[in-house]
Amino acid sequence: MEALVQLGFENVAATARRAAPELESLGVEVVRADLTDPESARTATKGRDLIFHTAAKAGVWGSESVYHEINVLATRYLLQGSAAHGVPYFVHTSSPSVTFQGESSVGETELAPYGREPYNAYCATKIQAEREVFGFPEGPRALALRPHLIYGPGDPHLLPRVFEAAEQNRLVRVGDGLNRVDVTHISDVVASHLAVIPRLEQDIWGESYFITSGKPIRLWSWLSHILHWKGLPPIRRSVPLTVAAKLGALLERIYRWRRWEQEPPLTEFSALQLGCDHTYSIEKARRLLGYNPQVDPYAPFLQQLEEDVEWTTRTFNEILS
């Protein structure tokens, strides 16, 4: 929202289920809507030229029905509303989790199939959501962006959980610590979405695109670097990947059997994500969207906080020119 407003776009709107004064202060129209309600979602699409659908339930644990409502039905209702109101373009924010098969992958491309046996409700419903996007008849022209492991200002999932675990001395390395992983700074994620705008009439639709920094990192070395930067305790303990995956699967069974709602300290999916290689080719996004990531994963974090929106605006203006 900040980037769109700073770039001078008018009639920028965002849906929210609550009051959002931080958006209203930017001049953004806040549309109060529950996207799991078909009529509410339909109303939210009226009068729009382009929809960025970023709403989702993330995480690795929770009610399958809630994941389905938020990730699948909300996507369907927004597509139906877009069709009814003649919205021409629809950009869906997806996830590389849709192709995760429980094993290492290096330089994976968009030709990879969907996961055969999704490890949790998040993976399963993001697969279903993409199928809604690409299978909707007579709807808007649509594409799916798949940013991997987003970090940076506003991150509620990745690094805050690492920091919390480190502070409580619960952070344990999974595997040998050499696995290579792609991450994506929020500035690059925003830029990938903005890159669609000057290409609305080009042949970019009906496709999915992996989005990353383009510079895979050694996950555990990177985390150690960040912990040192934050002045937090280093990682001192480790567990083999096979042991961690089996432990995660066992904890999941126990929690489901006991009907505990809280998330287990480890799941099979989390263990595999922490111990396996998972890197993705962004050549398709470079070629068709002109996506050119700028933030090196090892860039000084404090400096980056100040420059995020300014960099995004400058980069998009370069794309337009």
Query: Residue 310 pLDDT more than 60?
Result: no
Which residues carry out catalysis?
Answer: 122
Which has the minimum average pLDDT: 42-51, 71-80, 155-164, 176-185? 155-164
pLDDT confidence of residue 246: 97
How many CB atoms neighbour CB 145 within 10 A? 24
* pTM (predicted TM-score): 0.91
CATH 3.40.50.720 describes domain 33-309? yes
Query: How does pLDDT run across 158-175, given as a tens digit for each residue?
Result: 888 889 989 998 899 999
> Which among 158, 98, 93 has a CA at the least distance from the CA of 128?
98
Q: Are 129 and 72 in contact (CB under 8 A)?
A: yes
**Mean of pLDDT values over 18-47:** 94
Q: Whole-angstrom Cα distance, residue 172 to residue 303?
A: 29
143 or 320: whose pLDDT is higher? Answer: 143
Instruction: Note the helical H segments in the chain.
Output: 2-6, 21-24, 38-44, 64-67, 74-85, 121-135, 158-167, 186-194, 219-230, 241-258, 268-275, 283-289, 301-320
Query: Residue 302 pLDDT more than 50?
Result: no
Identify any residues that bridge with 238 across adjacent strands, giving them in sequence order.
173
pLDDT confidence of residue 139: 85
The DSSP symbol for 107 reads E
Query: How does pLDDT run across 16-30, given as a tens digit for each residue?
Result: 989 999 999 999 999
> Which among 101, 7, 89 has a CA at the least distance from the CA of 52?
89
Query: How does pLDDT run across 59-81, given as a tens digit for each residue?
Result: 899 889 999 999 999 999 999 99
Cα four-point dihedral sign 158, 161, 162, 163:
positive
pLDDT confidence of residue 50: 97
Query: How does pLDDT run across 199-253, given as a tens digit for each residue?
Result: 999 999 999 999 999 999 999 999 998 898 888 999 999 999 999 999 999 999 9
Indicate the helix (H) or strand (E) that contains 279.
strand 278-280
Q: Whole-angstrom Cα distance, residue 224 to residue 270?
A: 18
**Helix and strand element counts for the chain (H, E):** 13, 14
241 or 314: whose pLDDT is higher? Answer: 241
Query: Residue 272 pLDDT more than 70?
Result: yes
Residue ranges per structural domain of the chain: 33-309
